[in-house]
Amino acid sequence: MKKELFEIISNDIAAENIFKMELSGDTSAITAPGQFINIELQGYFLRRPFSVCDWEDYKLTIYYKVVGKGTAEMSCMKPCESLDVLIGLGNGYNLAASGDRPLLIGGGAGIPPLFGLAKRLIEERKQPEVILGFNTYMEMFLVEEFQNLGIKTTITTADGSHGTKGFVTDAMADKNYSYIYTCGPEAMLKAVYEKSISSGEFSFEERMGCGFGACMGCTCRTKYGNKRICKDGPVLRKEEIIW
């Protein structure tokens, strides 16, 4: 965990209400895909948490959906503006558990961290496959980037405007996988949990006071005791989750 200044490299619309922001700054605090950053916004008391989509030395990418005042304000930011960021937050996904053919399942604004994960799984010579769920065609993002990694990419849309009509779970049935990594709305996580035949890891969201474990603002119950989503999570192992 570090507190760093980042500079906006680009901040462009990627799909309906979804923006891609590239930031430059010290990324050395990131230790695993699935971790997040917490961004200070002028005029707002709380920072805003976003999953790291991808990173390299001195550069990282996030994708964010405009859902409220803070994200609306972010969407107006310009290159060269700087942001105060807490980085390297959360546990992130455990790559070692993946097995050979992990299945990555993402829904909407939960998709970004799976991209960084997929890249690193490939680097470790695994064969990940991915299911991406969207509401509708207009909200699709990151699809090409996944395809460019050369991995099998299945799309579902709730309204059938692209790919399989339905939810990500509708595309799970015929898959053969060693492990599941997933991130998305809680209802989706739960459906995936119930449908999944392997072990896996589930990334959760919660409103956060600090994002680094100080305030107990984000605690959830697990089979192995209380866990703070921000510090002991956001990724929980399937075995510990209590719904």
Ligand X SMILES: Cc1cc2nc3c(=O)[nH]c(=O)nc-3n(C[C@H](O)[C@H](O)[C@H](O)COP(=O)(O)O)c2cc1C
Which three-class secondary structure state does DSSP give residue 209? Answer: coil
Other C-beta atoms closer than 10 Å to the C-beta of 238 total 16
Report the site for ligand FAD in 40-69 (rule: CB under 6 A). 46, 48-51, 62-65, 67-69
Give 126's contacts (C-beta < 8 A, 6+ positions apart): 98, 99, 100, 101, 102
Residue 205's binding partner, choosing from other proteins, ligand FAD, ligand X, none, with beta-carbon cut-off 5 to 8 A by kind?
Answer: ligand FAD
Spatial CA neighbour of 134 closest among 122, 146, 126: 146
107 assigned ligand-binding residue: no
Report the site for other proteins in 168-227 (rule: CB under 8 A). 206-210, 212-221, 226
Query: Least distance (Å) from ligand FES to the CB of residue 1?
Result: 12
Distance CA 45, CA 114 (A): 29
Query: Least distance (Å) from ligand FAD to the CB of residue 58?
Result: 20
Residues paired with 59 in a beta bridge: 24, 56
Give 98's contacts (C-beta < 8 A, 6+ positions apart): 121, 124, 126, 128, 178, 179, 181
| Contact characters 184-223, ligand X, x per CB under 6 A | -------------------------x-----x-x------
Position 86 contacts other proteins (CB under 8 A): yes
Of the pair 172, 208, the CB lying nearest ligand FAD is at 208
Q: Enumerate binding residues for ligand FES (CB under 6 A).
A: 208-211, 213-218, 228, 230-231
